[in-house]
Structure 1
Amino acid sequence: MPPAIPVTLSTASVYPRRAAYAFESAAELGYDGVEVMVWSDPATQDPDVLARLSAHHEVPIRSLHAPTLLVSQGVWGRDPALKLRRTVDMAHELGAGTVVVHPPFRWQYRYARGFQDQVRELEAETGVTLAVENMYPWKARTRSDRHYVAYLPGWDATEHSYDSVTLDLSHAAVARQSGLALVKTFGEHLRHVHLADGTGVPRDEHLVPGRGTMDCAEVLMELASSGWAGDVVVEISTRRDRSAHERHGDLEAALTFARSYLAPVPTAYVPPPPERHHLPADAW
């Protein structure tokens, strides 16, 4: 019997390795599926390749992340509305039930004007859930408290009437928001969770859950006890791991953390420390 709340692996968690490695890792470690981050890796842009990877490793593709990051601005052209439409079409073709999308950047003002309407129309037309992700304020890299307006209509998903949202706990850490408070604020609109930790510094860390200061365990226990229906997606940064062994250990620790606190009877789990010390790189 499948778990009540599936725990899936984002292909972004293995960067700079490619999507094929994520499918292999998900199968080996026992993840319940994969979320495909659409970006420069050609496999992530090709539904036929993705379908073959899914079938070969017997790991379902449960969600896609639209190419709306700064690093994927050139994927599938420059029109963000068309890119979102293409992602939804690919999700529908692959049988993935959810598409994660960031709110528009402030310089994408034409896209931003119709963003909420497009999201609702695509959901109604295709049956795919478009879950808008919570973001965080961009802070100047100085001692000042100045913040840049980076997103339209804004970075804080609690201030906008999205039908479906994705809670990213690393983003919440940057914004200094409580994950548990966000779960309760989003309520029935919460459809998807990106599981990663952070320490509250002004950069997106995407740490293994349990290695930061976010209330990751409390969030997972609340989801499990409330009968929440959605996916918990491990979206950590392993880009500084120096070997396949280190990366495997981080992916395994994140999965164990998720399963420990999503269980009907939660069990405490503290992930082992990383095998080497490094500054966390800016992720996504």
Structure 2
Amino acid sequence: MRTVSLLSSAVVLLGYNTNGLTSHRLADALALLADEGYDAVALTPDVAHLDPMRASAREIDAVAHRVADLGLRPIIETGSRFVLDPRRKHRPNLLERDAQERALRLDFLRRHVEIAAAIGAEVVSLWSGALPEHVRADEAREHLQRGLDELLVDADRHSVVIGLEPEPGMWIETVEAATRVFEAQGRPDRLGLTLDVGHLLVTGEGTVHDVLTSSNMRLVQVHLEDMKPGIHEHLAPGRGDIDFAETFRALQSSGYGGPVCWELSRSSHEAPEVVRLCRDVFRSSLFST
């Protein structure tokens, strides 16, 4: 079945994730993207930018005005590493055996939905998390389904869409697995697919065209970077094996219209140069389709 976009426009938008701009103040990072011709920003609230557990309503409102003034379309990402636990990366998650730990992650995600609504972001992206030790697959499935059920209530109330992102090394690491979750949830309108193009090269699941035509999930957000087969390392374009022109052909064929956000969390030290490089590769690849 063909993936259908929740977004009304078929225009692909150039975006960038703030997790690759952590050496810049957030206001400066947003200005850099706008000055370099970007259309969208994937904002990852984290200790460097708009700490999701500490940011005030005034700070969030300032970001809302900033992205609006700059003409940037915002998306919210939830991939901060150590906000909930300074010693365990991306933990706790929705799969934990301990109910209090699951509740902590759920509250964290609800906070991101609130931030999304406040700054005008239509999509909040998340992943399942890694399968904790001593948690069985059937338990994880139940925990994830219950957590998503509760989160989707908040998403509906705030008119936000949840994008489930398959992530290598996590329990849901393929589009096929994400689609099974979508089916188990009853195909909710507020749950779609966040596709990271590089992850397909890591898992070997297939091409962009293959996975989009085999899934009935709605494509709501796209992440992009260069990548090498089997190695989960986000690289600047030209340092891996991604065919960007083919990627954009597949996205256009799918009917996707919305942000395609470069995600280069290990490139903050060279952000201005990489931001320009990504823009140039985006434009040359898009125009070659």
Please indicate, yes or no, whether the TM-score normalized by the shorter chain is above 0.5: yes
Equivalent pairs: percent with the same residue? Answer: 23
Task: State the one-letter code of the partner of 1:249.
Answer: E
**How far 1:158 sits from its partner (Å)?**
1.5
Higher relative contact order (CA 8 A, sep 6+): 2
Structure 1 contact 99–130 (Cα < 8 Å) conserved: yes
Coordinate RMSD, CA, aligned: 2.8
Whole-Å separation in 1 of the counterparts to 2:273 and 2:159:
36
Task: State the one-letter code of the partner of 2:21.
Answer: V
Whole-Å separation in 2 of the counterparts to 1:38 and 1:173:
27
Could you tell me which residue of structure 2 aligns to residue 144 of structure 1? none
Gapped regions of structure 1 (runs ≥ 5): 138-149, 268-284
Does the alignment pair 1:62 with 2:74? yes
Equivalenced residues, count: 242
CA distance 1:239–1:229, change in 2 (3 Å): closer
Gapped regions of structure 2 (runs ≥ 5): 1-8, 87-91, 93-100, 183-190
The partner residue of 2:16 within 9, 17, 22 is 9
**What are the within-5 Å matches in structure 2 for residues 86-101 of structure 1?**
86-101=111-126
Whole-Å separation in 1 of the counterparts to 2:230 and 2:255:
32
TM value normalised by structure 1: 0.74
Could you tell me which residue of structure 2 aligns to residue 41 of structure 1? 48
Could you tell me which residue of structure 1 aligns to residue 129 of structure 2? 104
The partner residue of 1:117 within 139, 142, 149 is 149
Whole-Å separation in 1 of the counterparts to 2:47 and 2:143:
22
Whole-Å separation in 2 of the counterparts to 1:255 and 1:166:
21
Task: State the one-letter code of the partner of 2:77.
Answer: H
**What are the within-5 Å matches in structure 2 for residues 31-180 of structure 1?**
31-45=38-52, 46=55, 47-55=60-68, 58-66=70-78, 68-74=79-85, 79-107=104-132, 111-137=143-169, 150-151=170-171, 154-159=172-177, 160-162=180-182, 163-180=191-208
Q: Which aligned runs of 4 or more in structure 1 are off by greater than 6 angstroms?
A: none
Whole-Å separation in 1 of the counterparts to 2:271 and 2:217:
34
**How far 1:7 sits from its partner (Å)?**
1.2
Structure 1 contact 136–174 (Cα < 8 Å) conserved: yes
Whole-Å separation in 2 of the counterparts to 1:59 and 1:10:
16
